[in-house]
Chains A and B, each alone.
Chain A
Amino acid sequence: MLPGKLLMDLDKKMSRRDFLKASAMGACVTAWAMTCIGLLKFPMPALLPDISNKFKIGSPEDFPVGTTKIFSDKNVIVFRDEKGLSAISLVCTHLGCIVSQTSQGFACPCHGSRYDEQGHVIHGPAPRGLDWFEISQLPSGKLVVDAGKRIPVGTKYTV
């Protein structure tokens, strides 16, 4: 029995047998649909196994003006100039390859995106500039970069 036909015949009086048949079919379909939704939810991780995005980079004394340090396991580069400290992501905003430093700024090997020293896109398919991350200081004085927290380009941490 088709659902459309069922609806059309709704004003007619339905026999008890047809009603029971239709409800049995409906129950089957509902059960299958619910099972599928439940099963499809299974592969979606409820808990991400990732470690924290925050990591310590050292004390302010480790970063005299003009220092550049790359934290290659975190893919973050940290600069220090007169205005303060900046932490820039080395992950290309296009498809996630790791950019390398060039004379102009940064270049991505995968699809040719290029960025200037501030991380602004100057060439290629990248949809936006490189991410800048928040830097903070622990009570102990150690500096911490939070690679999960994007901040506006050019925001520097003054020590």
Chain B
Amino acid sequence: MAIKEFFKNFFELPKTFRQSVVRHDKPTSDRARSQIMFGNIFLHILSTRVHRYSLKKTFTLGLGIMAASSFVILLVTGILLMVYYKPSVETAYDSIKDIHFVVPGGRFIRNAHRWATNVMIVTVFLHMARVFYTAAYKKGRAFNWVLGVVLFVLTLLLGFTGYLLPWDQLAYWAITIATNIAASARELTDTLNITAYFDPGGFVKVLLLGSEHIGDEALIRFYWLHCVILPFALIVILAVHFWRVRKDGGLARPDEISEKELGETPKDALSDKVFTYAPEKTYGLMCIVKGKTPVVSRGPEQTVSSWPHLVVRILAVFMMTYAFICLYSFFFNAPLKELANPSVPENPAKAPWYFLGLQELVSYSAFMGGVGIPGLALLGLALIPYLDRQDQEIGRWFDSKEGKRVTLFSVIFTTITTIAMLAFTVKFGWLRNWYPHISQLVIIFINPGTILVSAFVIWSFYWMAKNNSTRMAAIALFTCFWVSFVILTYFAVYHRGPNWNFYWLSSQWPAH
């Protein structure tokens, strides 16, 4: 008998094996669809049902998923690049050249890694704006916004540590500038004459470089940060970020949503039948689940099952991102400058575009532009949900007509003040040009960067008082920082030439 059973088992092996892996029915009922989402460790980070408002294309614009998709592409291409990359001053540059010219498909993989970084930074930046302008940091989502700010910083740090690795001219001078920015607390301690006793700048610099000078020790440290520490931190925090979205009841949305607003979002007859099927178990988690008690015998209104509606949309956004990065990488090569030369910087020595706004600020004061203002801006960003706790409807772009008005006025205000400040500095210079012996302390605290920031803060308080609303003040301030960041970046990319002088066009740069 056992022999007979053995053969039966043997021939049914494909079927029983499949059943042991996939433990749910075909997704033809709402229950089976929920089981797919619920029983899969990877899909379980999404809830089993999703509100139709969250599927509106014009609400999220798919930005968060685009950022996550480009991160997946970065992980895969990055792991592949590690096979050929050699992290030492002697070999790094040659190994990048090998990847580009010798390794089959190497050029494409490196391009994809580089361009996916750009896609990720742009989408993270836009995703943050989307979350902010839809007030999605409110109603229990405060800490997830903080995690988002941490992820933003990690993304920039990954970009930064990444472009150091080829050890070309960009890498060498970027690491020089960045570690000196890290050490720029010295600018303050030097002016106060206390560097000999208290030197946090020097401490950080030696910690980053493993030496007083830039060499193998520095390269291996940045390699370690780029390939181990930062991606690991990003993956863990990203998981918590997603998980909290699910635990907060999905994406932010208004309390009352009309059927007209839901427009083109999917309606699914199958989804409405939920809870008509007699459940095998009664719910035992009610006391720890947030929100109102679900209505019995009726599907939660305006929601559909995540399988397939949400999953196919995520897949579609991923494929779009993937196709864009592939096409772009096929046609455009990632930049690689000449081999690092420690005695001749490039002229102008420009960081990648996403740091040029900061480079413009750093060209006024290293400490304020590189540490003070970015530090304050990030702290301010992270604290937004705690300083603006105004109870209001969430999940609508710019809140209301008034929100749109404040945003528009802030865009105009920032454009005018930022361009005026840049024009003034280009035309007349700054304190050092007028009073060559002025104390550095004055310049640290009074420079075009700090004046702009003060103007933005005053502007924000003006709207707080005028509208009697912390949310309007937050909108004003966020818009100011966002727009000035874009303008400064544009200005540094297109209008700064050799010796960081102003030029209308790069064709006007003097020939060497």
A interface footprint on B357-387 (CB within 8 Å = 1, 0 otherwise): 0010011111001100000000000000000
Which residue of B173, B342, B365 contacts A110 across the interface (Cβ within 8 Å)? Answer: B173
B432 touches A120 (CB 8 A): no
- Count residues of A near B (Cβ-Cβ below 8 Å): 30
A71, closest chain B residue (CB): B343
Which of A3-11, A18-26, A122-130, A132-140 contacts its partner? A122-130
Check if A57 is an interface residue, CB within 8 A of chain B.
Answer: no
**Least CB distance, B425 to chain A, in whole angstroms:** 10
On chain A, the residues within 8 Å of B215 by CB distance are 49
Interface hits, A3-43 → B, CB 8 Å: 43
A75 to B432 Cα, complex, angstroms: 25
Check if B436 is an interface residue, CB within 8 A of chain A.
Answer: yes
A96 to B501 Cα, complex, angstroms: 18
On chain B, the residues within 8 Å of A128 by CB distance are 190, 440
A121 touches B436 (CB 8 A): yes
B188, closest chain A residue (CB): A127
A109 touches B177 (CB 8 A): no
Chain B CB within 10 Å, residue with most, of A75, A112, A127, A128: A127
Check if A85 is an interface residue, CB within 8 A of chain B.
Answer: no
A84 to B207 Cα, complex, angstroms: 39
**Least CB distance, B248 to chain A, in whole angstroms:** 27
A94 to B16 Cα, complex, angstroms: 69
Which residue of B181, B344, B498 contacts A98 across the interface (Cβ within 8 Å)? Answer: B344
Check if A48 is an interface residue, CB within 8 A of chain B.
Answer: yes
A48 to B213 Cα, complex, angstroms: 9
Which residue of B181, B347, B436 contacts A120 across the interface (Cβ within 8 Å)? Answer: B436
Chain B CB within 10 Å, residue with most, of A97, A98, A108, A111: A111
- Count residues of B near A (Cβ-Cβ below 8 Å): 45
On chain B, the residues within 8 Å of A125 by CB distance are 362-366, 369, 432, 443
A114 to B359 Cα, complex, angstroms: 17
B348, closest chain A residue (CB): A109
A112 touches B499 (CB 8 A): yes
Check if B333 is an interface residue, CB within 8 A of chain A.
Answer: no
Chain B CB within 10 Å, residue with most, of A44, A97, A123: A97
B432 touches A123 (CB 8 A): yes
A interface footprint on B481-512 (CB within 8 Å = 1, 0 otherwise): 00000000000000000111100000000000
**Least CB distance, A141 to chain B, in whole angstroms:** 28
A interface footprint on B152-188 (CB within 8 Å = 1, 0 otherwise): 0000000000000000000001001101110010010
B173 touches A97 (CB 8 A): yes
Check if B200 is an interface residue, CB within 8 A of chain A.
Answer: no
Check if A87 is an interface residue, CB within 8 A of chain B.
Answer: no
A138 to B443 Cα, complex, angstroms: 42
A95 to B187 Cα, complex, angstroms: 10
On chain B, the residues within 8 Å of A127 by CB distance are 187, 190-191, 365-366, 440, 443
On chain A, the residues within 8 Å of B429 by CB distance are 123
Which residue of B210, B344, B348, B362 contacts A45 across the interface (Cβ within 8 Å)? Answer: B210
**Could you list 28 A-B pairs, sorted by A, with CB under 8 Å?**
A43-B210, A44-B207, A45-B210, A48-B206, A50-B211, A50-B213, A73-B343, A75-B342, A75-B343, A94-B366, A95-B176, A95-B181, A95-B370, A96-B176, A108-B499, A109-B346, A109-B500, A110-B349, A111-B359, A111-B363, A114-B499, A122-B436, A124-B363, A125-B362, A125-B363, A125-B365, A125-B366, A127-B191
Pairs of residues from A and B, 9 with the lowest C-beta to C-beta distance, nearest first: A112-B500, A109-B347, A111-B363, A95-B180, A72-B343, A96-B180, A127-B440, A95-B177, A97-B345
Q: Assuming A97-B345, A109-B348, A111-B363, what are 11 further A-B pairs, CB within 8 angstroms?
A: A50-B212, A72-B343, A95-B184, A95-B362, A95-B370, A96-B176, A108-B500, A109-B345, A121-B436, A125-B365, A127-B187
